[in-house]
Structure 1
Amino acid sequence: MKFRFVRLLVAASCIASAVAAHAAEVQVAVAANFTAPMQKIAAEFERDTGHTALLAFGATGKFYAQIKNGAPFEVFLAADDKTPTRLDEEGVTVPGSRFTYAIGRLVLWSAQPGVVDDQGEVLGRGDFRHLAIANPKTAPYGAAAMEVLRRLGLADGIAARLVTGENISQTYQFVATGNAELGFVALSQVMVDGKLTGGSAWQVPAGLYDPIRQDAVILAAGRDKPAARALADYLRGDKAVAIIKSYGYGL
């Protein structure tokens, strides 16, 4: 029995050594709206595969510029589908690796209860000083917010009250700190498992903005990196999908 126990220990040690030998790091550019779910996914990914995802969060448009200028990212999780498609066409991705990992949802949110009604009528009443949105030129959620305002016929009247964040994370901070009474943010930033984490919100009807299809793609720098391929596969697995759904994303 003792000999068998020793053999089991040796076998377990060999397996652990093999996993460690094949473990690697993968450099990942992640759209700011996906910060919380990606942090959870990365932790599970490391636990299950041994690989470590090194995450950088920011605006999709800025990541595009950095990637084109040689930033060493190996996987890109964008806040839209247009940017990864463009990178595909420009030959800086692994062909055939692009896929939609989430459908983003827009919400009008205030950190204070009772400020935003469940129909979004606060926008029309105009009883607020500042409305925060992400930069529509670089952040897809900001572009979606402007689309909503235009479709509601409010874009011109509200223009002077807009406060623009560099990305959706900064936009959220503007509202969370009270620098803006309300703002358009990602549903994933204010709701987990179907429950609002605080304040008041209006989930913007999907018909008021084009679907925010968020695509992931393996970049050219990750072409021969098993960890990059492993992460792309993991994002489509059951555990990652459950996390993504828990933050209110569609699939």
Structure 2
Amino acid sequence: MKRFLATVCFLWLAVAPSLARAAEIRVAVAANFVDCLAELAPLFAQRSGHRVTPIVGSTGRLFAQIRQGAPFDVFLAADARRPRMLVDAELALRPRVYARGRLVFWSADGGLGRWSGWQDQARRDQARVDQPQTDQPQTDQIRTDQLQTHLLQALRNPNLRHVAIANPDLAPYGRAADQTLESLGLDSRLGGRRVQGSSVGQVWQFAATGHAMGAFVAYAQVRAEPVERYLIVPDHLYQPIDQMAVLVAGSREPEAALSFLEFLAGDEAAAIIADCGYRIPESGP
């Protein structure tokens, strides 16, 4: 009996530290990154034993909730401005850009092909832009110009009755869409055709349910769904979408949260993030 009790005590002492280290971390995540986080979270749990609980919303709304004391551990924003504001206010620390987003324009009803007849050419140009040949910068510029022409054709088409855009005050991808329209000289021409959502997640739903014929969303969203007709918006039409992660200063699980941020900065996570459709930034905040 004594030997049995000794064995039980030994096993408990061996297991108890790992149980003590296991934690649940609440990750406030921008809507564009939620599908990618769903791929990262199980791997992180496997590596660390910690569980990730996502709280999804627009970057602006999550930022406001953190300022009001929301019990988050990590903030995965879709921009760098708001995380830096939290750091300056001593409400967050350990800032790091974990991904650079890309903006796309798409239609769920297949209308891009019917509108102007450029579908086949756009697909060929799209494939070249998805896998650019960096040793031919002049050719790449021609392809980018062609893609911009396709985008203009779609946006100017009178059959495009509604265009969904995320609120630029809350969602960085909405701000990028506004910058794109301004660069194209179309910011004042959409008029009543503009449909606004609180986040790119809601904008996606507008287009997917037919409430908008076209939408500006994240490239990662079209990668996560069986979407064929989309156009990557050329980078020069909007400011870079650098997505920053921070540790929330009031975290209830700071060690687990730091472990997640370290995991996010590693090669294993970077490969998944790239496969989700993001560019991987250089090291550093």
TM above 0.5, yes or no, is: yes
After superposition, the C-alpha distances for 1:127-172 in whole angstroms (9 at most, x for unaligned) are 2110001111100000100110111011111131111111110000
Aligned to 1:108: 105
Counterpart contact for 2:79–2:241, Cα < 8 Å: yes
TM-aligned CA deviation for residue 189 of structure 1: 0.4
Counterpart contact for 2:23–2:253, Cα < 8 Å: no
TM-aligned CA deviation for residue 14 of structure 1: 6.2
Aligned to 1:169: 201
TM-aligned CA deviation for residue 51 of structure 1: 0.5
Name which of structure 1's ranges 202-211 and 112-121 shifts more when overlaid on structure 2.
112-121
- What is the one-letter code of the residue matched to 2:58? A
Aligned to 2:257: 228
- C-alpha root-mean-square deviation of aligned residues, in Å? 2.1
Indicate the percent of aligned positions where both proteins have the same amino acid.
Answer: 41
Aligned to 1:78: 77
* Runs of at least 4 residues off by over 6 Å: 10-14
Name which of structure 1's ranges 163-172 and 13-22 shifts more when overlaid on structure 2.
13-22
Higher fraction of helix: 2
Aligned to 2:180: 148
Counterpart pick for 1:98 among 78, 84, 95: 95
Secondary structure of 1:217's partner?
A: strand
After superposition, the C-alpha distances for 1:173-209 in whole angstroms (9 at most, x for unaligned) are 01111111110000000115xxx72241010000000
Uncovered stretches (5+) of structure 1, i.e. residues with no partner: 1-6
Secondary structure of 2:189's partner?
A: helix
Change in Cα spacing, 1:57 to 1:64, as seen in structure 2 (3 Å) is same
Counterparts of 1:112 and 1:168, CA distance in 2: 18
TM-aligned CA deviation for residue 40 of structure 1: 1.1
Counterpart pick for 1:239 among 262, 268, 282: 268
Secondary structure of 2:112's partner?
A: coil
Secondary structure of 2:98's partner?
A: strand
TM-aligned CA deviation for residue 240 of structure 1: 1.2
Counterparts of 2:276 and 2:53, CA distance in 1: 21
Question: TM-score, normalising length from structure 1?
Answer: 0.89
Larger Rg: 2
Counterparts of 1:70 and 1:206, CA distance in 2: 36
Matched, 1:130 2:162: yes
Counterpart contact for 1:112–1:199, Cα < 8 Å: no
Name which of structure 1's ranges 219-228 and 149-158 shifts more when overlaid on structure 2.
219-228
Counterpart contact for 2:180–2:238, Cα < 8 Å: yes
TM-aligned CA deviation for residue 223 of structure 1: 7.8
Secondary structure of 1:156's partner?
A: coil
Uncovered stretches (5+) of structure 2, i.e. residues with no partner: 1-6, 114-118, 123-149, 281-285
TM-aligned CA deviation for residue 60 of structure 1: 0.5
